[in-house]
Amino acid sequence: MEAKYKKYILDFKRPSGTSRGIMRQKETWFLILKENDNYGIGECGILRGLSVDDRDDYETKLAWTCAHIHLGLDELWGQLLEFPSIQFGLEQAFRSLKAPNLFELFPSGFTQKKHPININGLIWMGDKDFMLRQIEEKLKAGFSCIKMKIGAIDFDTELQLLKSIRENFDKDQIELRVDANGAFSPADALSKLEALADFDLHSIEQPIKANQWEEMARLCRSTPLPIALDEELIGVFSVTEKKKLLQTIKPQYIILKPSLVGGYKGSGEWIDLVTTIGIDWWITSALESNIGLNAIAQWTYTLGNTRPQGLGTGSLFTNNFDSPLQVVNGNLFYRNNLSWQAGLIEDLCI
């Protein structure tokens, strides 16, 4: 078996804002396997400033992985605990290599019978007019669940935007989620949660920065609004530590980004733990190209979670790859009559 990797820069159509700053490009890496005449491909998606494997030796570790591909998936996965995005890229690539075709990793009703996945519409941070335009577009596009990034502009303005939605759509018509990306301080978080709760929100993601377990636990005990852990899960590698985190904080939800928590296996460990203690969950992509999104979406469908999932559509980028993935009325479909970009593997192997 041969293995190689290639870096790829995804360009945003429009700079996209979070509480951590503005993104204009997204760096990603592809692992390509070849065995006889068969190929396999996986995406190692990192988010600079967020991924635990955003390290100076990242490319060195990719090269090491390719040089040791003969060790096999299980052995390599175990040796790459501190590089969850490479773990996930390997899982995809090995599954792709053995799949019926390069991109059908989990044959199911999603890939074969046009069964959709319900997803949320994402509202990026920006000025009030920009965010309002996005909200209007998502409502017109038929989304029944909207997730709004908050924490970068004036909080009162964000409350006004939420109020404008609720004046026209109640919670039975539109499910509203917000994502603070750790923007609140422990001192003012509870008062902000109380203000947000007036708008019948489904949940808030990561109200304060990660690694403040006791403060987060206090919030989860007192909150009038369900809290979902997101960044909090990053860099927690062992099952023992995962269990300790959940028992300490006791969140209402957790959100799993496979690229950030060790792929299918790492996410599965979290799901097994929360299932035993009654904490709910959903899956979210992390600005992968359509290659990584496809791998996440197909696996997500097999889990049978009926909540709206946070699966980005790939429409943010000018240079994404053509794929059968399509969003209609707030649902993600895999259209068998649409094709993957011609010559994709050949282009990435050059």
**pTM of this prediction?**
0.95
What is the arithmetic mean of pLDDT over 94-115? 95
Q: What is the pLDDT of residue 350?
A: 60
Q: What is the pLDDT of residues 141-162, one digit of tens each?
A: 999 999 998 887 789 999 998 9
In order, the DSSP letters of 201-263 are: -SEEE-SB-SS-HHHHHHHHHH-SS-EEESGGGTT--SHHHHHHHHHHH--SEEEE-HHHHTH
Q: Active site residue: 26, 138, 149, 209, which one?
A: 149
- The CATH number of residue 283's host domain is 3.20.20.120
Q: What distance in Å separates the CA atoms of residue 281 and residue 275, rounded to the nearest whole number? A: 9
322 and 242 in a common domain: yes
> Do residue 190 and residue 146 come from a single domain?
yes
Q: 238: how many CB neighbours lie within 10 A of its CB?
A: 10
Residue 245 and residue 262 in one domain = yes
Q: What is the CB neighbour count within 10 angstroms for residue 252?
A: 15
Residues 120 and 167 in one domain: yes
Q: Which of 234, 345, 317 is nearest to 26 (CA)?
A: 317
Rg of the chain over Cα atoms, rounded to whole angstroms, equals 20
Give the H or E element holding residue 13: strand 2-18
Q: Across all residues in the chain, what is the average pLDDT?
A: 93
- Domain holding 191, by residue range, is 109-334
CATH number for the domain including 79? 3.30.390.10
> What domain count does the chain have?
2
Annotated catalytic, 192?
no
Same domain membership, residue 171 and residue 34: no
Output the pLDDT for position 251.
98
Same domain flag for 146 and 187 = yes
Task: Tell me the three-class secondary structure of 143-179, residue by residue.
Answer: CCEEEEECCCCCHHHHHHHHHHHHCCCCCCCCEEEEE
Distance CA(266)–CA(259), nearest Å, equals 10
List phi, psi (to 5°) of 139.
-65, -40
Active site residue 6: no
Predicted confidence (pLDDT) at residue 125 exceeds the cutoff of 90: no
Catalytic residue among 26, 147, 209, 257: 257
19 pLDDT above the threshold of 60? no
Sign of the four-CA dihedral 215, 260, 184, 313: negative
Residues 79, 151, single domain; the answer is no
Whether 21 shows a pLDDT value over 70: the answer reads no
* Predicted confidence (pLDDT) per residue in 236-274, tens digit: 999 999 999 999 999 999 999 999 999 999 999 999 999
For 40: left if phi > 0, alpha if psi spans -120 to 50, otherwise beta; the answer is beta
